[in-house]
Amino acid sequence: MSVLLWENFEFKLLELVRSGHEIGLDFGILSVWTGRPSSGRSQWSGLSWCPPRAAPVSFEYSPFKFLRNLARSREIVGVLLRHGFDDLIERIGLKRYLQWGKRLFFRRDPAADSHSTPERIRQALEDLGPTFIKFGQVISTRPDLVPEDVIEELSHLQERVPPFPGEEAIRLVEAELHRPIDVLFAEFDPEPLAAGSLGQVHRARHFDGTPLAIKIRRPHVERDIERDLSLMQEIALLIERQIPESQVFDPIGLVQHFQRTIRREINFLREARTMEQFRRLYRNDPNLLVPRVYEDLTTSAVLTMEFVDGCRPNDLDKVQEYGLDPCVIAAAGARLYMKQVFDLGIFHGDPHPGNMRIMPDGTIALIDYGMIGFLDDEKRELLVDLIIAVSKSDVQLAMRSVQNLGQPSRPLDHSLLRIDIQDFVETYYGITLEQLKVGRMLQDFVQILSTHGLRCPGDLMLLIRATVTLEGVGRGLDPKFNMAGELAPFVEGLVKRRYDPRRVAGKMAQDIKTLATTFHSMPMSLARTFDKLSRDDLKIQLEHRSLDRLISEFDRSSNRVVVALVVASLVVSSSLIIRTSSTTPWISVPVFALSGMLGIWLIYGVLRSGRL
């Protein structure tokens, strides 16, 4: 019965939202008021309802995000059901968003049982479209939170997005830059050079003859991404609330990390600023080419930059045709990357062969600056401390570095952590630089974090993934490539800068200033606390856990009792009609049929639950 009420309630609210009403909620017995925006708060509309669940509603969770995007919500839940995630749907309360037919015969697709869980996750993300595919690609960089078999499967995610027509691309460019295409460029090729889920690239030519690359954002992609982000956030909140054991994977943190990443990528102005920053930092370095950005031809949806020719680093024949030594190119690329990480604190987050070009003169060009990582001084020093700890077999220093780099998601067992770190240090201590694989060492470090529930900062995980990728690119150019040999000078330089007298003095002055500020504000903070105590206004927030599922079971049991009582009353009433009416006994036939249908539905639900 409560399911019927909730369905009607959903559609009533959806109609009100679409008609321009404002909706307010008072979570006691879920009273609802509605009104037009211009008229202020109206009188009570008479719509009120007692929800089937009595669980307290968190301010972070907003079910109306599902209602505002009801069609997309149903699509998401339908895809999850099709790929065998029926238990997840039921546990987090998304079953109500299925259509009536699917809800009545709620069961997983038998075909899903032939695939492993990681495969079903990948297939579901691919079916849900570009935003979810990007989400899978981003979380595949978090081996500290996501199981290894899932990460391996997510690496096979494919963007099945066709390019949009060249006429549409021209229309978008003209709308963004407010001028006809023939006024903006001397030439514009309507055929896309490359296409992805967020946009596509077209070639063009400036009036001065410079070849250009025009990156154009897909139409409506920002709206679709924001819609999906809103729903993903609500699903993550439900998962973390209803499935306490999921907190080890930090669903909310994963979605928030993805939100930051995807919003950076779709804002081409941010990418343009990053490219200009790299151009300034490397203006005196002849080994790196950063494409020039044409600011007057760039907006948040259109990025105009210098077109970079050259070959990919995995095209060895072309590299040798240029007369270049692949070993020299590999070493130069590693030095450029180490400079970004340890000297500048800003690095390219996706250095795969598709985002790199080797120029005929040996210069390395980096393109696509949508994914960028940042490391502050503290994280760089902690990373160097870990490297030093391994080189000196200092387990205590390694313990401190690991605990400072990772945020614990559960109580930490220090004795077990020490054992694992000691094994880690002993594994890599004494290995020559020629034998050391930096990528493998960093992956083992992440495995320790994951085992002990230590959450690694997102930018550090991006660095680890990029390092592994770059090491693979280097070994493709030079089978004997060793990143550790290029790493040592930068680590030594960072250690020297750490103990520079001017830097030490500046840091001490900053610490003293912070301490003085803390002492200055302490009396006022204490006064506010005592004032609340004196007025009995000091509040302690308590959060219950694992009760929502129990409440759901109570709701389900009460619904069955209600249906059983209705069936019994219909049977009794129809029997009385037959007994007392000698002229119209046929009136009881529809009542008998209805009670029979309800009885069969009740028995089906009980048998399906597996609990009599």
Q: For residue range 169-198, what is the model confidence (pLDDT) as tens digits?
A: 999 999 999 999 999 999 999 999 988 888
Average pLDDT of the segment spanning 345-350: 90
pTM of this structure: 0.69
Evaluate if residue 130 carries a pLDDT over 50. yes
Pairwise pLDDT comparison (234 vs 292), residue with the higher score: 292
pLDDT at site 280: 92
Q: First CA to last CA across the chain, in angstroms?
A: 20
Q: 603 CB contacts (<8 Å, ≥6 apart)? A: none
The Cα 66–Cα 238 span in angstroms is 12
Evaluate if residue 67 carries a pLDDT over 50. yes
pLDDT at site 391: 81
Average pLDDT of the segment spanning 358-385: 89
Burial class (CB in 10 A: 0-12, 13-18, 19+), 370: buried
Evaluate if residue 603 carries a pLDDT over 60. yes
pLDDT at site 189: 95
Average pLDDT of the segment spanning 10-14: 43
Tokens of 189: 């090729």
The Cα 331–Cα 329 span in angstroms is 6
Torsion (CA) 527, 528, 534, 540 in degrees, nearest 10: -130
Tokens of 21: 């009403």
Evaluate if residue 50 carries a pLDDT over 80. no
DSSP letter string, 491-536 = HHHHHHHHT-HHHHHHHHHHHHHHHHHHHHHHHHHHHHHHHHHHTT
Average pLDDT of the segment spanning 571-578: 70
Residue 464 near residue 443 (C-beta atoms within 8 A): yes
pLDDT at site 323: 92
Pairwise pLDDT comparison (409 vs 325), residue with the higher score: 325
Dump pLDDT digits (tens) for 353-370.
889 999 999 999 998 898
pLDDT at site 319: 92
